Amino acid sequence: MHAAGYGALLLACLPVGKAVVFVLLHQALFGLHLGMAFAPNHKGMEMPGPVGERWGHLRRQVLTSRNVRGGLVTDWLLGGLNYQIEHHLFPNMPRCHLRLVQPLVREYCRGLELPYAEAGLLDSYRQGLRHMHTVGGAARSE
């Protein structure tokens, strides 16, 4: 239904060729934005092997996620998912409230001596790209 309305609106406003170009560009930019919002939260983080089955929910969520530091602009650009650790611990919490529980979660992790990963946006991309370069090394050497 959404796709039909989207297509009908585009065809009502644009010639067919321009509508197709618009859809392709819109979807490409949307995909880029989603990738840039999701990738910095998990790429390069520890992945549980067999020992991870004994980690428990808290440990698994904290060790496999990274928060992205920033301000209100970062919150807006990433849709609140820059608080990935809190998002995984409290999946039903409204995203606008995740930043409010962050200090509590960080302090709780500190008390358990559980590493709480946080990085700036560019550094999180750098860490993810470094990780992909490392794991891709095996394919490059073949």
Domain positions in the chain are: 40-141
What global pTM score does this model have? 0.79
Count Cβ neighbours within 10 Å for each residue of 31-70 and write b for 16 or more, e otherwise: eeeeeebeebbbbbbeeeeeeeeeeeebbbbbbbbbbbee
Tell me the per-residue pLDDT of 90-130, one tens digit each, with 9 for 90 and over: 999 999 899 999 999 999 999 999 999 999 999 999 998 89
Task: Give the C-alpha separation, 35 to 32, whole Å.
Answer: 5
pLDDT bin (cut points 50, 70, 90) of residue 52 is low
